[in-house]
Homo-oligomer: A and B are copies of this chain.
Amino acid sequence: MAPLFADLYLFTMLRAYQALGMQERATFSLFVRKLPPCRNYLVACGLADALAAVESLRFASEDIEYLSSLGLFPPPFLDSLKHFRFSGDIDAVPEGSPVFANEPLLEVTAPIGEAQLLETFLANQIGLQTMLATKAARVVRAAQGRPVVDFGSRRAQGLDAAVKGARAFAIAGVAATSNLMAGRRDGLPVAGTVAHSFIEAFDSEDAAFERFAALYPNTILLVDTYDTLEAVRKIVGLHRAGRLGPIRGIRLDSGDLDPLSRQARALLDEGGLSHVQIFASGGLDENRIEALVAAGAPVDAFGIGTAMSVSRDAPDLDIVYKLTEYGGRGRMKLSAGKRTYPGRKQVFREMRDGRYRQDTLALRDEGLTGEPLLQPVMRDGAILPAGIRPLGEIRRRAAEALARLPDPVAANAPAATPYPVVISESLGDAERRLREALVRTRGEGPF
């Protein structure tokens, strides 16, 4: 973990807890308070990267020197950072699982200062991949089995978002990425075609097609540089003249994709190139893909960029990391509009007829019916096997779990009724009792 990827106050609090001898164990819960209006579910994602970073968290001497330079921290505290390692426990929902508002994506239990220290990093990283996997699940659904390729790196919000985004997209079912760094990092299939600039650099579009196809058998040629259908005719002409190596497809990147794909398909079929696929890109999102598929446009695969890479219609999640227990007692705030539930938690997910029907947000050890979602993924600072799973396994889990959602929840359109998440009686009681005590004592306990 980048040890200084943290808000300053995490360190001022860590030092305060040390100075005040407050070293009891605390539990913090990472969850999304409210789903964006245009989301019926979230796909939990980002755990493996986050755990690896937490396990390896150490402070280098230059980190400590920087903290020292702020003039806020006494030498004994700075010294203690030299030997810091995260010693706590993490329980988490497996990556690829659908989750809903208020359900913990993970819970951290550790001495309070240590647990607190992870806030900025975990919210940023789990929030990012969860947001992007969720967006990609919608895009993949819209494509109804046609491959979707991630072309969004140039528009993603920074390098980290592009690379980790490619992983999240793969988990949600995206077939490949154009980003080589992501391909190498996570073993993802990489894909790409050719840019307009390549075509433009030649004095003849014909020559550009012929040369590129000769160098890269089974490539995909870009046809919209000057005139889309004219370019398709040129490809047919080159093929008939025996001058075109084998190509896999053509790419349409502008214009009205529905009629253009039909006209291009007809030209290819008439020209003896019925095996050549049509690849569409250019400003696509799940809604445009859904419309093309519904209209029956003969598009075989989609390249998608900006809209998926920044989750344009929901570019952030209301993700928070909240103290829920300290020293064995539940904790919460009463701030207006920001309800939290005290205590360590579990989510029990019930199935009926192969479909999820209801979740119950409960205290950790209630043992209710249904599948308990949170699993131990780190103990005493060491990652457990459940925390880091192969990408293929996570991707399969996501596909299976999304198929188990009720149809209106799995749909891209807003669900008339949200997926039901109920609060267990014990958790409801605990919340009510603590709230009443806090109000009665005006925050001057014991409560």
Interface stretch (choices A94-102, A173-181, A355-363, A406-414): A173-181
A143-181 with Cβ < 8 A to chain B: 151, 153-165, 178-181
Secondary structure of the A contact surface, majority rule: mixed
- Chain B residue contacts of A158, Cβ below 8 A: 124-125, 128, 157-161, 164-165
- Chain B residue contacts of A12, Cβ below 8 A: 192, 194, 215-216, 219
CA–CA, A316 to B108, complex, Å? 33
CA–CA, A447 to B207, complex, Å? 14
Interface residue tally on A, bucketed by range: 35 or more
A157 nearest in chain B by CB position:
B157
Does A193 sit at the interface, judged by CB under 8 A? yes
Does A28 sit at the interface, judged by CB under 8 A? yes
Does A328 sit at the interface, judged by CB under 8 A? no
> Of B184, B215, B315, which one neighbours A66 at CB under 8 angstroms?
B184
- Chain B residue contacts of A202, Cβ below 8 A: 445
Does A323 sit at the interface, judged by CB under 8 A? yes
- Chain B residue contacts of A160, Cβ below 8 A: 157-161
Copies assembled: 2
In the complex, the answer to whether B332 meets A200 with C-beta atoms within 8 Å is yes
In the complex, the answer to whether B154 meets A16 with C-beta atoms within 8 Å is no
> Of B8, B180, B196, B310, which one neighbours A157 at CB under 8 angstroms?
B310
Taking the nearest CB of chain B, how far is it from the CB of A97, in angstroms? 22
In the complex, the answer to whether A203 meets B2 with C-beta atoms within 8 Å is no
A20 nearest in chain B by CB position:
B211
A256 nearest in chain B by CB position:
B336
- Chain B residue contacts of A125, Cβ below 8 A: 158-159
In the complex, the answer to whether B120 meets A154 with C-beta atoms within 8 Å is yes
